[in-house]
A and B are shown apart, each in its own frame.
Chain A
């Protein structure tokens, strides 16, 4: 079967889906057993129990094991659900009712009700998401049990409570059967993200980052909230199944034609997109995610790489039918373009900055851009597949970076680390980073290669009549894929290969200078305290250079290299601290998952859609992400008769793209090797780096001059936002403050004074004299009687 045919089938299957309304048909729903609720409720129980632990002042690792156990149970249940209900031919969505959550009724008719139940709607899309959410959450909880060791006690409980609450919220987000419950989860993950970014709450940078993430997410959430209002206004319900049924019938809640409704076709998906972009850190909203790296690294791995930030992708995939209401697919085009531009934009920044954790952060933004582009280019399967593979390999990369931070006192500057993979205890980390890097770069036969390829190939075959400029989008993505390979291996070559060399991060130095208790052996101290407070630091350079806003790694203090591994270990010098078994086990598991995920592409299953995208295709095809409105079906069949997909240099795009993207990826890696690779085989024999700090790329910096500087400073987007949004708002708030102080307060004080005056006037009536009261009562009776008779007769 050629991929040419596959493409045709994709489009026609969308159209057929629309005709049957299969995902929306309420009759097609399966009833899920009640224990499915436990998948989400177990992490909530863990959250409560962690709260109890905090109250009981538990001072051991119990909270971690509690969380790991609960999450593992949750994952087990998810696996059981998947094996029993999503491996056969019947992939109809499942429904399970928990309890009645909100039920307003203000009249007899059905339109005068608002129902939002605590109920789950589980289709292939949901199942895919909960599989990797619960699975990764379990592994990362295991990793955290060791990583957060330095904070055993109240902080440990706090961490795992927020962690469990996050998993609960994320599961509610993806499993909800209506928009409002989804929003509960949506806000829940936002809250937990805030709590965990600001975990080191004594660190100003972390607190600022937490606030930034929260506030920018609020802007997106405003869009989502308005989208929910709009959806209720248009459809008269917030339940997915009913909305899908109405989209399938092309009729809104009042029975009017849906495809001509601009509000439903344009505004509603636009608002949804605003919400999705906020949560998933896309164009205009992405600035919070790099700063979110202030949180502990396991948090970055789980929340800010694998799960929460994909909520936006999920949202669009879940409400894909709504995006296809508009026959012109305006908003999907917008999503495709924004995704591609974000991917490219973030990649330029990554190539310039030196902070390896932030490289991963921007890389997440860039990869999320790929996913959104996939959604926009009518490849929801590709987007879902990329989300799935990305979750594992990006988690691997983050956990690897976390191990480095853990070991080197929060050191994250790639110019101050080298040859980490060769150091004692870091071998596995090196391998894991390599696996993660080849996935991210799209080296052939890796999971990342196949999933990225699906999106790229779709981009070249989607006709421009449907998605305007689809080919340009695809070209941008292709170039970005090359850049991705370059920056990924830039980090890999610099940090993990080459001569062994390291400098401890600020955390370690802080300990040595200030907090190192007198009279204790440093090594002993490290053993007890797990190498420093706040492994999420690594970034607090502000005391070095005084730029409060500049978190970039480009501004590392200009300090001489002091420490070498071959220094005498008996002196009080920093000693790297290799990861323990828990961290290693989690890294190993993530690494294996990201290798095995490649096999999913070839897996044939009983469900429909497996011929396109393998296992993931069979999960996504029967779900809402692969369901389109009837209008879309018409467009799909009418356009470009006969079905001649756009060719890529005269060849079948799908077939050719395997080679093109592989080639682009390898070129990127070779450039990285040439510029950053160490001398010898480690640098593929083309690199010449001999120390950590300098490489061939330094010459390039002079060549590009100001561009590098600007990119390194993240295109000054933070500063621009500050100038055009924050500063004017500040001025405005000062003006309002003055108005409030002198005008509003004046009026309010006047209003406040009136009751006082009345009271003062009435006060003499309360003389305390009994005959006065009696006269008052009798007089009052008389006056009232007369008054009423005069007024009514």
Chain B
């Protein structure tokens, strides 16, 4: 138990910070209240450090595809993850993007209240203030996200997913004081509950089909006996339900409405956090049956004896694809998701809605990597690491795009200021507001995948891994969609850059929250700077994308090739 805990230190740190922030944020003194965001930042930094320091759950030696096959016996029977190296990488990327979002989210809530207090029009009333809740929910959500990465069990995964999502519903609802936000929050909540119901149903069926909730045992079951009908329906429902988190067709409907209803900075949060949770969940589910799915291979190998197996494994007797129904469904979802996202995005006149639809399209791109699978493990062939790297890239560049519109507003009287939203508002932005304008330009070009920016390096392995996996048609679809995306991304890039603002319209002004501009700058800088270090990041991602065989399978092959172990017996032994 205690060694289990040792992998949870980042989450524990974040949780402790959350509690602290909740209390500090309620202070009567403005200075103390303002401290909450700094504490949250410090907590995230600690979590980042702890994540980077944590060792993966399994040494490379036990990975059958790492070259040193079976050279060392597997030490842990259970409690070992199928994607062991993913955990520290995912947690680091969550912490990094979380830190980038902190300045972006500054001043989201309580603006009118604080102004009233500052003017002396109202006294401090803890019940009317949302700051503490907002930051606490922010941290809760990130904690849940980190927990998703380390999940080794269906129940854990479900709880982590819900911990990620539930705070976001409220964050949307309180992000502005307008009714639009509340409507968006409620919509998001109801539809989210429905999505959760779908994958929860899927999880239940998975348990019913395999008799276990542990991914490792589930994997052993699948490899020995194949996927039975109940489990298959379970897998599909799980994937469809998780599709809500990543805003994939047919669960994508909520996206534009919710993104538009919430404040831009919260939309940026929504574009990253649930999407990451969804992809982590999808990767975990897919790793149970694996990208080299071939039921019965282990049993056949047992009969042939160990020696032939170890030779045979290098020749990949496991097949080369996901199980066909799963592959087909993911294929259809991926193709539809990117197409629907992109074609609807080009029709929009609102920047936020465009970004919302484009967020759908990006999920579609990443699904291609999911379908491609780990390949031979090298970065260009590894779809899993491509997905992980793309999550990082998307997290970074997405912040800048939203920050540009979050940083500007128009204000009339004492009303809550309205952030800019239409394409007309961003016309000539580079001249009038260079910081916001340039971060929008750079991030849009990166989102488009223009070399040499980060987005290009994110998209490239998606293409190469899919080509390597033989998904040529899907690659063509991906290419066409990238071209369609150019239509609106170039508009986002060139309106601020080349056109001049309409003089008759009142110009927007910067919000008093400098952090949002800073977030845009950091994001744009990151898009450029990380591209320079893309090589190292890719290596990290490539390591993170290592997929291992289930412990039961490897163990059985190593220890006792003669007597096959049934999964139920295995479960019982535990």
Contact = CB atoms under 8 A, between A and B. Distances in A.
A773 B254 contact: yes
Given A756-B343, A759-B346, A762-B344, A780 B250 contact: yes
Given A785-B236, A792-B325, A770 B187 contact: yes
A788 B236 contact: yes
Interface string A773-793: 110111111011101110110
B253 A760 contact: no
A765 B252 CA distance: 11
Contacts of A780: 240, 249-251
B347 A777 contact: no
B370 interface: no
Residue among A776, A779, A781, A791 with most chain B CB within 10 A: A781
Interface stretch (B5-13, B290-298, B326-334, B433-441): B326-334
A777 B194 contact: yes
B455 interface: no
Contacts of A792: 324-325, 328
Contacts of B333: 784
A774 B190 contact: yes
Contact of B343 (A759, A776, A779, A784): A759
B250 A784 contact: yes
A763 interface: yes
B359 to A, nearest CB: 14
B233 A785 contact: yes
A791 B347 CA distance: 33
Interface string B490-510: 000000000000000000000
A109 to B, nearest CB: 15
Contacts of A641: none
B61 interface: no
B120 to A, nearest CB: 41
A514 interface: no
A766 interface: yes
Contact of A758 (B249, B254, B343): B343
Contact of B340 (A762, A770, A774): A762
Contacts of A706: none
B15 interface: no
Contacts of A776: 250, 253
Interface in B309-357: 324-325, 328-329, 332-333, 339-340, 342-344, 346-347
A642 interface: no
B190 A770 contact: yes
Contact of B253 (A752, A763, A766, A789): A766
B424 interface: no
A768 interface: yes
A755 interface: yes
B522 to A, nearest CB: 23
B572 to A, nearest CB: 33
Given A766-B253, A766-B344, A779-B250, A755 B487 contact: yes
Contacts of A765: 253
B198 interface: yes
Contacts of A773: 187, 191, 253-254
A265 to B, nearest CB: 37
Given A752-B487, A776-B253, A792-B325, A781 B198 contact: yes
A745 to B, nearest CB: 15
Contact of B329 (A752, A755, A784): A784
B237 interface: yes
Given A776-B250, A777-B253, A784 B344 contact: no
A774 B191 contact: yes
Nearest to B250: A780
Contact of A781 (B237, B257, B324, B344): B237
Given A784-B240, A792-B328, A755 B484 contact: yes
A780 B250 CA distance: 5
Interface string B194-217: 110010000000000000000000
Nearest to B188: A770
A755 to B, nearest CB: 4
A756 to B, nearest CB: 6
Given A774-B190, A776-B250, A776-B253, A755 B342 contact: yes
Contacts of A783: 250
B478 to A, nearest CB: 15
A670 to B, nearest CB: 63
A759 B347 CA distance: 7
B332 A774 contact: no
A762 B253 contact: no
Contacts of B134: none
Interface in B223-245: 233, 236-237, 240, 244
B256 interface: yes
Contacts of B347: 756, 759-760, 763
Nearest to B325: A792
Interface in B428-478: none
A466 to B, nearest CB: 50
A765 to B, nearest CB: 7
Interface string B169-190: 0000000000000000011001
A788 B328 contact: yes
Given A766-B257, A768-B257, A784-B332, A777 B250 contact: yes
Nearest to B485: A755
A758 B336 CA distance: 12
A600 B263 CA distance: 79
Contacts of B194: 774, 777-778
Contacts of B340: 762
A777 B233 CA distance: 17
A792 B347 CA distance: 36
B345 to A, nearest CB: 8
Nearest to B344: A759
Nearest to A759: B343
B325 A789 contact: yes
A199 B304 CA distance: 77
B533 to A, nearest CB: 15
Given A766-B253, A784-B332, A787-B332, A777 B346 contact: no
Contacts of A774: 190-191, 194
B67 to A, nearest CB: 12
B240 A781 contact: yes
B390 to A, nearest CB: 22
A68 to B, nearest CB: 33
A780 to B, nearest CB: 2
B258 to A, nearest CB: 10
A783 to B, nearest CB: 8
Contacts of A758: 339, 343
Nearest to A791: B328
A784 to B, nearest CB: 6
Given A765-B253, A773-B254, A780-B249, A756 B346 contact: yes
A768 B328 CA distance: 30
A755 B346 contact: yes
A768 to B, nearest CB: 6
A784 B325 CA distance: 11
A752 B488 CA distance: 12
B552 to A, nearest CB: 27
A762 B346 CA distance: 12
Contacts of B254: 773
Given A762-B344, A773-B254, A781-B237, 20 more contacts: A755-B346, A755-B487, A756-B346, A756-B347, A759-B344, A760-B347, A770-B187, A770-B190, A773-B191, A774-B194, A776-B250, A777-B253, A778-B194, A780-B250, A784-B240, A784-B333, A788-B325, A788-B328, A789-B325, A792-B325
18 contacts: A755-B342, A755-B487, A758-B343, A762-B343, A762-B344, A763-B347, A770-B191, A772-B253, A777-B194, A777-B244, A777-B251, A780-B251, A781-B250, A784-B329, A787-B332, A788-B325, A788-B332, A792-B325
Interface of A: 752, 755-756, 758-760, 762-763, 765-766, 768, 770, 772-774, 776-781, 783-785, 787-789, 791-792
3 nearest interchain CB pairs? A780-B250, A759-B343, A773-B253
